[in-house]
Amino acid sequence: MPHSSLETEIRQLLIEHGDPAIVADALLPRWDANVLSNEDVRTLTRFLVNSQQLRPLFTQCLRSMKRDQPLPWAALIEAIKLTRVSIEPIEIDAIFEGIEFQEDGFDDLVESDGLDTFDPRPAKQRVEKMHRLQQAHEEKRENLRRRLDYARVNRLLSQERKVLDEIQAFDPDDPILKKEQNEFAFREAQIMVEDALAHSPPKAELERKFDQLPDDLKKAAKPILKELKKRATTASESELYDMALMLLFMDLHGESAKLIENRRLSPRLDWLLLEVLILGRQYASALGEVENLELKYAGDPETPFALTYARARALWGLGDTVTAIELMRSLTRVRPSYRSASTLLQQWIEEAP
């Protein structure tokens, strides 16, 4: 729970002076001037009790009584308890009479158990307060859940994210919060990919925009490619992966992609193919591969993130900078720790027309 500004000030004064009495002298005039909120008065009086400064506490409580100002009942009872003074029944009745005339007096009183051995009413009030708090807590939780369900059903991503943040702030220990957050991240990534696919130009149209590898480069590489193709037919998965990487490092992206496409022996070869297509500026083919991998690895929770990242890069290469930036921005919101995405997003924002 975050500290109040007065709690922070008390800590700072203690650091500076090291003497609780000096801190009290600095803050008591505010209470006396009635410029503190009720919560700040509780904060100050808790400090006075915990630092055993009972005299200034009693003095100020007496002044407040004479001025018909609210009293910090819990702190007052705790202070009386520390003095080990015996309280008479008539005095207890007077305390309760004063509490009844003060708004939220009982709510304040039950923070102390100092009267529990003298009278059953504080314990009873404490139970009732706890019940009210629990009821209010559950009502707010149910309201948040209803809002979350509404946002989910209507695919209102920004609203769903906002409600999840409210739940996190309201109850970070909610047992199903983590599950909800993971499901939301996965669903958001899926929706981003679906939307991007829906607005993507036809692949046939995109493919006409790009040329294949230059003929002179193909001719120079032909002996190497012939030998690699021959070996690739019987190569193991790791050998095939190394061959594809070698062609990639030689900037023979098209040939590297063909090598993998003929024998897709493992998931890592699938993902390497997608990377090769992007690096080889075969962006239209990369978009098609995104669709294939989305179906092939639909059960993997990491798939939407990787595919969103790849799709954004392909769209950027095709000149659709607006969609690419929006996809990458959405990805970094879901995965703030995704450094590659964050770095690329910043670069794109700077380069975008």
Q: What is the mean pLDDT of each run of 10 residues along the chain (353 residues)?
A: 74 89 91 88 90 91 87 87 84 82 78 78 81 84 81 73 80 72 60 45 37 53 67 77 75 77 79 85 87 82 82 88 87 78 85 75
Token readout for 263 is 């024998």
- Separation CA 220–CA 217 (nearest Å): 5
Q: What is the 3-state secondary structure (H, E, C) of 190-209?
A: HHHHHHHHHCCCCHHHHHCC
Q: What is the pLDDT of residue 211?
A: 40
CB count in 10 Å sphere of residue 198: 7
Element (DSSP H or E) covering residue 114: none
Q: What is the pLDDT of residue 302?
A: 75
CA distances in angstroms from 72 to 10, 177, 298, listed in the order given: 18, 37, 60
Q: What is the pLDDT of residue 207?
A: 37
pTM: 0.40
For the chain, list the domains and their CATH numbers.
5-119 (no CATH), 137-198 (no CATH), 204-351 (1.25.40.10)
Q: What is the pLDDT of residue 178?
A: 66
Kindly report the CA angle at 130 between 91 and 10, in degrees rounded to 5?
Answer: 75
Report which of 93, 297, 304 is spatially closest to residue 188, judged by C-alpha positions: 304
DSSP letter, residue 213: S
Give one word for 213, left, alpha or beta, with left for phi > 0 and alpha for psi -120 to 50: beta
Report which of 3, 53, 54 is spatially closest to residue 23, judged by C-alpha positions: 53
Q: What is the pLDDT of residue 200?
A: 41
Report which of 213, 272, 215, 208 is spatially closest to residue 238, judged by C-alpha positions: 272
What does the buried/exposed string (b/e) look like for 279-314 if buried means 16 or more CB atoms within 10 Å of the residue's CB? bbbbbbbbbbbbeebbeebeeeeebbbbbbbbbbbb
Give one word for 41, left, alpha or beta, with left for phi > 0 and alpha for psi -120 to 50: alpha
DSSP letter, residue 122: H
Q: Which residues, 6 or more positions from 44, have their beta carbon under 8 angstroms from its beta carbon? A: 6, 10, 27, 28, 31, 36
Report which of 223, 310, 299, 323 is spatially closest to residue 273, judged by C-alpha positions: 310
Q: What is the pLDDT of residue 210?
A: 34
């490619």: which residue's tokens?
225
CA within 13 Å, CB half, 50 = 8
Q: What is the pLDDT of residue 257?
A: 83
